[in-house]
Amino acid sequence: MLHTFHNPLVALHEITLSLLSEQNSDKLLNAILDQAIEFTKSDSGSIALLNENRKYLEIKAHRGLSHDVSEKVKLKLGEGVTGRCILTGKTRNVGDTRQDPHYIEVRPDIRSELAVPLKVGSKSFGVISVDSSRLQAFNREHEEYIELLASYAAQILTNHQALTNLSHRTEILEALLEISSYIGKNPDFETTFKEIMNLLGKKIGLHRGAVFLIDEISNELYLVASAGYTDEEKQKARYSIGEGITGSVFKDNKFISIPDIAQDHNFLNKTGHQRDDGQIMSFFAAPVRLNSEVRGVFSMEVPYRSQSYFEDYQFLVQITTSLFGQALRIQQLIDEKSSEVRSENIALKRQLYKDYGFNNLIGASPKMTALFEKMRMAADTASSVLLIGESGTGKEMIATALHQNSIRRDETMVKLNCAAIPADLLESELFGYVKGAFTGANEDRKGRVLAAHKGTLFLDEIGEMDYRLQSKLLRVLQEKEFSPLGSNKVYKVDVRIIAATNANLEKLIEEKKFREDLYYRLNVIRLDIPPLRERKEDIPLLVQHLTEKIAAANRKKIKGLTPAAIQRLLEYDFPGNVRELENILERAIVLTDRNQIDASDLLLPETKTLEAKATVSQNQETALQPVSATDKNFNIRSWVRAQLQTVTEGDVRYAVISRIEKELISLVLQNNLFNKTKTAKILGINRLTLDRKIEEYKILEDFRET
């Protein structure tokens, strides 16, 4: 069994860590194969991956085989030992190749072969194979070890490919955002087109690209801007409507993408461009529209690398073409002396950012820029994410952005605040329950974990989760399974967990309030969200964004804030972070009758007068008097007698208790800078109860009045 070879597992762990830092896919494969051969004492071996069409296996790494083996040996699914292995998705251990009807000889002295599939879930994409000249060379330990290695390798290779694809997609989005900045800068649309073509040539490895517009007189498409065209080719680049691919795109008003133009007979190559026959070239062409009318065609050629890259370029061409259309529209508006030119261009940029960026996340400070970069890398992976940040820093918004920019964006994102639900109810809320599990369980109920299957589960205030319940969450992370309350049935789930907290989890681990193993499972990718006081250069951006949002929601015409108001905000430390900033701005916008917010409209703690502060201080002391037996100026019996004279029969108990409770909550709130989580902990109640009490006693309104 696995426990019989502890040292190899340590070696496996060490090589896995080293593989995680390796960026070159060829080196990854060779390192994996070396480890397999070393452990099994094999004579040779190979790693073969399915080609893009999943029709046959291509050898990507090999040891002990001839140099031309990767070119000659291309096994179809089910062909040979490795072909059978990937077809069935199961390990194949052949002790005598001469007795195996599926074995295909690649070296005459091979007598044993062990083949293990590389797969993610149930989908195989390659095979690790090791060979030996000895009969029955491989035992069960070898199988288990190579299976473990294959499991690690498959995850690493998958993540590596996902990161590569994510990096390429990020480059495409960055190119699009830069392209959008050209729209409207220059009133001459032809100059704009040329600048964009030059940008594409530098940014994405463009082989050739061109923008054609229709000549109304000759009724032909002529070249307006290009990249990678010689002067001679530019002269030849004219197409009649319907001629070749370019003319057909214009005529039919349809986008066309071709993985390999050498295989498409419709491609005319009218310019006579000479190509390297050894390189597959993809071709894309899309109609350029002004409003709903086709006015031209944008085309480009890039080397074919993978299906993922091909789809990214499809996206790039279609969005770029729409931007070209916008440039034509802006030119039209300029010609008509329209006052809407600038606003439409701004709307275009905002729409592009909203649709394809991490929308609603505002910040240009170094700390936020670094955070956004980590988010881009983390978004499209399956790894757990731990968000660390104070209350009000936007942890839920960041979690939503991670989900919306991930491969799970089309699936459900389920959110749960662990501090908002009592510990005895949290288990059933998370994992669900079956009928009869407890009193009142009259029917089966699906929990949040199952509801998030294939999607994302966001657990806020994870540090508040009951210690016993943490083990069930750990099982979801480790084994991808759970059982509902009152049931022995095991459910398998595929869920990505994003957790958030403002607590010091390391300290909670020391205090035995948080499981260390759960912490490490959650902390695969850690994102530290800076408090607002550490990124004050973002305050003007946040103010502009929040002011527009709040003003629109309240139908107020607010132009913005005065310099004095901005300066006042910059001088404040915002213990409540962005949430506090939003509350301050909302109060100012709702209560003002001017079209601009001034410093006097902002209610900040330091703006209270000395008299008001003294009043608050006196109220705090009064709140403590009922529990002070040594205060000679306060007599609790006399105070209760006074309440008896002012309240109706039957209400005196509520009047006394509620008065003391209100003062206590007010005092603890203020002592903790209005941090509700800390206040609830000190008072020994949950957040929901605290919120209800604050609303019931109108505590925040009292503070605003002071």
Strand order across the 525-528 sheet = 413-417, 456-460, 496-501, 385-388, 525-528
Angle at 208 (CA atoms; ends 205, 212), nearest 5 degrees: 135
Question: 521: pLDDT confidence band, cut at 50, 70 and 90?
Answer: very high
Q: Tokens for 582?
A: 């939003």
Q: Which of 199-203, 266-270, 441-445, 472-476 has the lowest mean pLDDT?
A: 266-270
Side chain identity at residue 393, one-letter code: T
Of 414, 412, 436, 438, nearest in space to 425 by CA: 438
DSSP letters, 305-372, are --HHHHHHHHHHHHHHHHHHHHHHHHHHHHHTT-TTHHHHHHHHHHHHHHHHS-TT----SHHHHHHH
- The pLDDT mean for the chain works out to 81
Within 13 A of 364's CA, how many CA atoms are on the CB side?
6
Per-residue pLDDT tens over the stretch 288-308? 998 888 999 999 988 888 888
Question: 232: pLDDT confidence band, cut at 50, 70 and 90?
Answer: confident
| Segment 174-196 mean pLDDT | 79
Of 153, 93, 160, nearest in space to 126 by CA: 153
Question: 581: pLDDT confidence band, cut at 50, 70 and 90?
Answer: very high
Residue 117 pLDDT more than 80?
yes
| Segment 10-26 mean pLDDT | 60
| Domain boundaries for CATH 3.40.50.300 within the chain | 366-530
Phi, psi of 362 (to 5 degrees): -110, 130
The position carrying tokens 């978004």 is 379
Q: How far from 167 is each of 312, 381, 403, CA to CA, in Å?
A: 11, 12, 17
Of 575, 573, 543, 582, nearest in space to 560 by CA: 543
Percent of the chain whose pLDDT exceeds 70: 82
Instruction: Report d(CA 170, CA 160) in Å as an integer.
Output: 15
Phi, psi of 228 (to 5 degrees): 85, 5
Side chain identity at residue 303, one-letter code: P
Task: Quote the pLDDT of residue 347.
Answer: 53
- Bridge partners, 491 (sequence order): 482
Question: 611: pLDDT confidence band, cut at 50, 70 and 90?
Answer: very low
Topology (CATH level 3) of domain 183-272+279-356? Beta-Lactamase (3.30.450)
Q: Tokens for 475?
A: 């099982």
Q: Tokens for 131?
A: 């060979």
CATH superfamily of 608-705: Homeodomain-like (1.10.10.60)
Q: Would you say the C-alpha torsion 233, 238, 242, 243 has a positive or negative sign? A: negative
Instruction: Report d(CA 118, CA 124) in Å as an integer.
Output: 6
- Bridge partners, 123 (sequence order): 120
| Domain boundaries for CATH 3.30.450.40 within the chain | 2-161, 183-272+279-356
| Segment 461-469 mean pLDDT | 91
Q: Tokens for 89?
A: 């998705």
Mean pLDDT comparison of 55-59, 355-359, 542-546, highest-scoring range: 542-546
Task: Quote the pLDDT of residue 608.
Answer: 40
Q: What is the CATH number of domain 2-161?
A: 3.30.450.40
Instruction: Report d(CA 490, CA 485) in Å as an integer.
Output: 11
Q: Which of 41-45, 363-367, 627-631 has the lowest mean pLDDT?
A: 627-631
Helix then strand then coil, in percent of the chain rounded to 5, is: 50, 15, 30
CB atoms within 10 A of CB 490: 11
DSSP letters, 484-545, are -BT----EE---EEEEEESS-HHHHHHTTSS-HHHHHHHTTEEEEPPPGGG-GGGHHHHHHH
Provide the CA 287 distance to its chain's centre, in angstroms: 32
Does domain 366-530 match CATH 3.40.50.300? yes
Task: Quote the pLDDT of residue 237.
Answer: 82
The position carrying tokens 């004492």 is 41
Side chain identity at residue 578, one-letter code: V
Provide the CA 316 distance to its chain's centre, in angstroms: 20
CB 364, CB 537: distance < 8 Å: yes
Per-residue pLDDT tens over the stretch 379-402? 888 899 999 999 889 898 899 888
Q: Which of 98-107, 198-207, 287-296 has the lowest mean pLDDT?
A: 198-207
Q: Which of 64-68, 237-241, 277-281 has the lowest mean pLDDT?
A: 277-281
Per-residue pLDDT tens over the stretch 307-342? 888 888 898 888 888 888 888 887 777 766 544 444
Question: 136: pLDDT confidence band, cut at 50, 70 and 90?
Answer: very high
Task: Quote the pLDDT of residue 675.
Answer: 83
Q: Tokens for 559?
A: 């132009």
Q: How far from 137 is each of 110, 113, 133, 386, 663, CA to CA, in Å?
A: 10, 8, 8, 45, 79
Task: Quote the pLDDT of residue 430.
Answer: 93
| Domain boundaries for CATH 1.10.10.60 within the chain | 608-705
DSSP letters, 639-679, are HHHHHHHHS-TT-HHHHHHHHHHHHHHHHHHHHTTT-HHHH
Instruction: Report d(CA 418, CA 426) in Å as an integer.
Output: 7
Residue 682 pLDDT more than 50?
yes
Would you give the DSSP letter of residue 207? S
Alpha helices in 592-635 (DSSP H): 610-624
Q: Which of 163-177, 247-261, 382-396 has the lowest mean pLDDT?
A: 163-177
| Segment 261-284 mean pLDDT | 73
Please count the residues of the chain. 706
Phi, psi of 685 (to 5 degrees): -125, 165
- Bridge partners, 212 (sequence order): 223, 297
Q: Tokens for 522?
A: 């959650």
| Domain boundaries for CATH 1.10.8.60 within the chain | 533-606
Topology (CATH level 3) of domain 533-606? Helicase, Ruva Protein; domain 3 (1.10.8)
Q: Tokens for 539?
A: 């305050």
Residue 129 pLDDT more than 90?
yes
Question: 44: pLDDT confidence band, cut at 50, 70 and 90?
Answer: very high
Q: Is 143 helix (H, G, I), strand (E, B) or coil?
A: helix
Task: Quote the pLDDT of residue 340.
Answer: 46
Instruction: Tell me whether strands 491-492 and 496-501 are parallel, antiparallel or unpaired.
Output: unpaired
Q: Tokens for 104?
A: 């295909």
Question: 414: pLDDT confidence band, cut at 50, 70 and 90?
Answer: very high
Of 302, 296, 124, nearest in space to 228 by CA: 302
Of 563, 625, 565, 622, nearest in space to 589 by CA: 565
Phi, psi of 348 (to 5 degrees): -60, -45
Instruction: Report d(CA 408, CA 105) in Å as an integer.
Output: 43
| Segment 508-529 mean pLDDT | 92
Q: Is 227 helix (H, G, I), strand (E, B) or coil?
A: strand
Q: How far from 221 is each of 193, 213, 238, CA to CA, in Å?
A: 15, 5, 5
Q: Which of 36-45, 332-341, 544-553, 627-636 has the lowest mean pLDDT?
A: 627-636
pTM to 2 decimal places: 0.41
Q: Would you say the C-alpha torsion 199, 201, 204, 208 has a positive or negative sign? A: positive
Instruction: Report d(CA 565, CA 547) in Å as an integer.
Output: 13
